[in-house]
Amino acid sequence: MKNVGIVIVSHSPKVAEGTADMVRQMVGEEVPLAWCGGNPDGGLGTQVGAIMEAIDRAWSEAGVAVLVDLGGAETNSEMAIEMIGGPRASRIVICNAPIVEGAVMAATEASGGASLKEVVATAHELAPA
């Protein structure tokens, strides 16, 4: 069985890349992983197209957990999932959790073969009440 994929979406490309690097060092290559962040000019922002591409890179039949940093990243991730549509969209979940801790914990859970529901629940445990 393939492991759940993890996508990291940050307004900062450096935050997204650094978080992905941390995940890779902690869980290795067992988890499909992608990240995106920033705008085309190198500034802060998120883009629907880039998020869709990241989801494609991290795609797993087991599903994909998307971790976001701020409201705009969540909104653009929701639009990306809507545009992906079809049966795939039902296997993509946005996690409202701290981006770094959430990504590491979600990936750790995914590396053990956990379901999308379990991966998302683990990330959500870190969210403030």
The Cα 64–Cα 120 span in angstroms is: 9
Active site residue 124: no
How many C-alpha atoms does 84 have within 13 Å on its Cβ side? 24
Q: At what angle do helices 116-124 and 99-111 cross, to 10 degrees?
A: 150
DSSP state of 79: H
User: Of the listed 11, 63, 109, 114, which one is catalytic?
Assistant: 11
Tokens representing 98 are 């701290």
What are the residue numbers of the active site? 11
